[in-house]
Amino acid sequence: MSKIKWGILGCGRIAGKFADDLKLIEDAELWAAGSRSMEKAVTFAEKHGFRHAYGSYEALVSDPEVDVIYIASPHAQHHEHTLLCIDHGKPVLCEKAFAINGTQAREMIDRARSSGVFLMEALWSRFLPHYQETMRMIREGKLGKVGSVLANFGFIPEAPVPDRLFNPALGGGTLLDIGIYNVFFAISVLGRPDEVVAHMTPASTGIDQQCAVNLLYRNGAIAQLFSSFEANLPIEAEISGPQGRIRLTTRFYEPTARIEWYPGRVDTRTEIPISSQPGWGYHYQARHVQECLRQGLKESPMWSHADTLLLMETMDRIRQSAGISYPADQQAV
């Protein structure tokens, strides 16, 4: 079986980790690195073992050998870069946040569908063993009817602070960068919220430096979510029902998180064993993309276009309630 040739668009921090994990997949080939700078592309390709380096994204997407492109640019560029790949017939795995808003996300998905090109958001936590196990426990009714989801994600960025975290033009702010994991976990468990109430503290650039979110449900369930760039919080999540509580230890969205199970009212803890593979954890989603491509799928059955749209639309509702806006919101797509 021939290997699947990966191209990487944008040679930044996460691109390097993703490349490390591609090496763990037997039938993945690190084919080409694409950067806005030829020098950077060459350095990245040599460091990570890609066979080709391109000094523009146009050159990357024009390589006829590339089978799939991983987009690792800032959120605000995902819309433009995804459309570039799709218009060149290249399947895409696009980093989170998938887009700045639901309008962009819908256009990206519509273009992929009408072009018959595979497109998936790189919501990597969805593919991790501890997430699968947590959802299995909930589906099996271990908690009873889930009444609450609590999640915190906060850290104080260390110097040199990446520009994209605070720059509105790059989609800066806690919600799209880290709060997205809180929202993802909450809606995975509780579904589409009936009401959304959110507040934020603006940074000097106007983006949300902290964001507090309540997702409210007609059946009485509540998700309480908090993200911050000004507090080093325990990055944990708790899901509770009348029959017990699941605690995902820090960092709840990564494969290193442990599942603690607290049955009933007694505060006795059982740790649920999880078998995970070496690596950062990005290979789970990459393997899944390869399986989809080999089956000729245009959409993932595990993280569908509808899943991405629900996540984006929920974040739009949070932003509307909290008053978080971006230059891209004003642009017609």
Note whether 299 binds ligand NAP by CB under 6 A. no
Q: How many residues bind ligand NAP (CB under 6 A)?
A: 24
What is the Cα Rg of the chain in Å? 20
Through-space distance between the first and last CA atoms of the chain, rounded to whole angstroms: 40
210/39 Cα distance (integer angstroms): 37
**Nearest C-alpha neighbor of 182 from the set 136, 135, 141, 238:** 238
- Exposure of 7 in the CB half-sphere (CA atoms within 13 A): 27
Quick one: 105 or 221, whose CB is closer to ligand NAP? Answer: 105
Backbone angles phi, psi at 150, to 5 degrees: -115, 130
55 exposure class (CB count in 10 Å sphere: 0-12, 13-18, 19+): middle
| Closer to ligand NAP by Cβ: residue 75 or 142 | 75
- Contact at 8 Å (CB) between 268 and 260? no
Residues 106-165 that bind ligand NAP (CB under 6 A): 122, 124, 162, 164
Q: Is 331 in the site for ligand NAP (CB under 6 A)?
A: no
Instruction: Considering only the stretches 91-99, 113-121, 229-237, 322-330, report the one whose residues sit in contact with ligand NAP under the rule CB under 6 A.
Output: 91-99
Q: Cα separation of 229 and 323, whole Å? A: 17
Selected binder of ligand NAP within 4, 45, 170, 322 (CB under 6 A): 170
What span, in angstroms and rounded, lies between the C-alpha atoms of 176 and 151?
Answer: 15
40 binds ligand NAP (CB under 6 A): yes
The CB-of-154 to ligand NAP minimum distance in angstroms stands at: 16
**Between 14 and 149, whose beta carbon lies closer to ligand NAP?**
14
Whose Cβ is closer to ligand NAP: residue 146's or residue 213's? 213
The site string for ligand NAP over 10-29 (x = CB under 6 A, - otherwise) reads: xxxxxx--------------
72 binds ligand NAP (CB under 6 A): yes
The footprint of ligand NAP (CB under 6 A) covers: 10-15, 35-37, 40, 72-75, 77, 95-97, 122, 124, 162, 164, 170, 177
